[in-house]
A and B are shown apart, each in its own frame.
Chain A
Amino acid sequence: DAKTTQPTSMDCAEGRAANLPCNHSTISGNEYVYWYRQIHSQGPQYIIHGLKNNETNEMASLIITEDRKSSTLILPHATLRDTAVYYCIVRVVGTGKLIFGQGTTLQVKP
C-alpha cells in the first residue's frame, strides 16, 4: 500500500504562506492525493485533492511534483484559524482504502 510521510509540526507567521509537505514515494500512477485538516477533535474537513496537475481552490493550492512522489499544500495567507492538524491521504488504487499520514500540526502565530 502507498504510504505518506509528513513532518510532525510546523510554525507559520500570520499572513504568510504556509507550505506543508507530504512524501508519498510509493504512490501509484492513478492514485489521488487528498488533503484534510482537523481542528481540535472535530471531524476532519476536506481541503483539496489532485492527481497530476497542480490544483487551486478557495482554501488552498496543491503542488504535486512531476514524479508524483511528493506534494505540498499551500495556504497562501495563513490566519490564526488555520491552526490545525493537516493530513495528507492517498487512496489505494481500485479500493476505498485510505492511507493517512501522521498529520502535521500547523501552528499559526501572530
Chain B
Amino acid sequence: EAQVTQNPRYLITVTGKKLTVTCSQNMNHEYMSWYRQDPGLGLRQIYYSMNVEVTDKGDVPEGYKVSRKEKRNFPLILESPSPNQTSLYFCASSLLGTGVLETQYFGPGTRLLVL
C-alpha cells in the first residue's frame, strides 16, 4: 500500500531535549516536505527536499533541521525544542513532474508537546 509513515504519532518532551521525527515513503517520490499546523495559522512549510541530498527552507525553518540521505526517508530534527514548537507536524511526498508538483501524499501527523 502506497503510504507516508511518521513516527512517533504523539510525543511529549521537555525544553532542550533533542528529538527526531521520522518520515518514510514507499512510492519512490522525489519530493518530500515537512509542515506544521497551528490553530489560526493553517499549514506552514518548514523544509522541503527536491531529491536526495537536496534540501531547502520553507516558510518557517527556524529551530529545525532535516536531512535527505535516502530517497525514502526525510527526518525532522529539533536540536533544542522549545514550547513554541508545540504543534501538529505533517510529512508529505510527491512526484516532481515538469513544472508541476504532482499530488502530495500526507502522513498521519505527529502531535508534539514541548514542556
Residues of A within 8 A of B (CB): 30, 32, 34, 36, 38, 41-46, 49, 51, 85, 87, 91, 95-103
Residues in A neighbouring B37, C-beta threshold 8 A? 41
Residues of B within 8 A of A (CB): 4, 31, 33, 37, 41-45, 48-50, 56-59, 88, 90, 92, 96, 99-101, 103-109
CB distance from B58 to the nearest CB of A (A): 6
CB distance from B48 to the nearest CB of A (A): 4
CB distance from B36 to the nearest CB of A (A): 11
Q: Is A46 a contact of B45 with CB atoms below 8 Å?
A: no
Q: Is B101 a contact of A41 with CB atoms below 8 Å?
A: no
Q: Is B58 a contact of A41 with CB atoms below 8 Å?
A: no
Residues in A neighbouring B108, C-beta threshold 8 A? 42-43
Q: Is A96 a contact of B109 with CB atoms below 8 Å?
A: no
Residue of B nearest to A93 (CB): B99
Distance in angstroms between the alpha carbons of A36 and B35 in the assembled complex:
14
Subset of 17 A-B contacts with CB under 8 Å = A34-B101, A38-B43, A41-B37, A41-B88, A46-B103, A51-B100, A85-B42, A87-B42, A95-B56, A96-B48, A96-B49, A97-B56, A98-B101, A99-B59, A101-B42, A102-B42, A103-B42
CB distance from A54 to the nearest CB of B (A): 16
Residues in B neighbouring A100, C-beta threshold 8 A? 42-45
Q: Is B33 a contact of A98 with CB atoms below 8 Å?
A: yes
Residues in A neighbouring B100, C-beta threshold 8 A? 32, 49, 51
Residues in B neighbouring A51, C-beta threshold 8 A? 100
Residue of B nearest to A102 (CB): B42
CB distance from A31 to the nearest CB of B (A): 9
Q: A97-B59, A103-B43 are in contact. List 8 more A-B contacts (CB 8 A).
A: A32-B100, A32-B101, A42-B109, A91-B101, A96-B48, A97-B57, A98-B45, A103-B42
CB distance from B66 to the nearest CB of A (A): 12
Residues in A neighbouring B41, C-beta threshold 8 A? 102
CB distance from A13 to the nearest CB of B (A): 26
Residues in B neighbouring A45, C-beta threshold 8 A? 106
